Amino acid sequence: MSAFETVAFFWPLIATLALMALGLTTGTIAARRQERDQDAREAELGEFVLSTVSRAQGSRGRLVTGSTVVGFDYFRRIALVLRKLVGGRFRMHENMMMRARREAVLRMAETARADGASGVCNIRLVSSNLASSSSAMGGCEVLAYGTAVWD
């Protein structure tokens, strides 16, 4: 087998591994950037009150929402399939869902704050699957909702 035939034989494997490495690298960079952005936005909220208490006494309120959609990239879908074979926690997906919940709550809080509210009470989170597990696309939506209150 000549050198050209050897390279031609392994080219699909090399290309697949290179694309997976590129996907993992860019996904990790994007996740870290999003976490830094969320940290900064949470710091900007400062004394803004977020609570799961069902009702704030003596306050008027209005429903506020915030939502986000998280798509699962191919690298994470492959890792999920491999993890299903051996069992255990899906740490990459847990991390993605944590970031999605933070983003939904931040969007809800920012909406309430822009309307002049002093806080949000009765916060609830809901998530839904966007595609079946056999679909080529996968992801979920996280919706945060609560009652914006004014003193």
The reported pTM is: 0.76
What's the rounded mean pLDDT across residues 57-65?
A: 81
At a CB cut-off of 8 Å and minimum separation 6, what does 76 contact? 27, 92, 93, 96
β-strand 139-150 against 60-71: which pairing, if any? antiparallel
- The string of pLDDT tens digits covering residues 138-148 is 778 999 999 99
Tell me phi and psi for residue 78, to 5 degrees: -65, -45
- For the chain, list the domains and their CATH numbers: 3-150 (3.30.110.70)
What distance in Å separates the CA atoms of residue 43 and residue 22, rounded to the nearest whole number? 32
What distance in Å separates the CA atoms of residue 148 and residue 119, rounded to the nearest whole number? 6
β-strand 119-129 against 60-71: which pairing, if any? unpaired
What SS3 state is found at 67?
strand
Look at residue 72 in the predicted model and tell me its pLDDT: 75
Look at residue 66 in the predicted model and tell me its pLDDT: 95
- The string of pLDDT tens digits covering residues 63-97 is 999 999 988 777 777 777 777 788 877 777 888 88
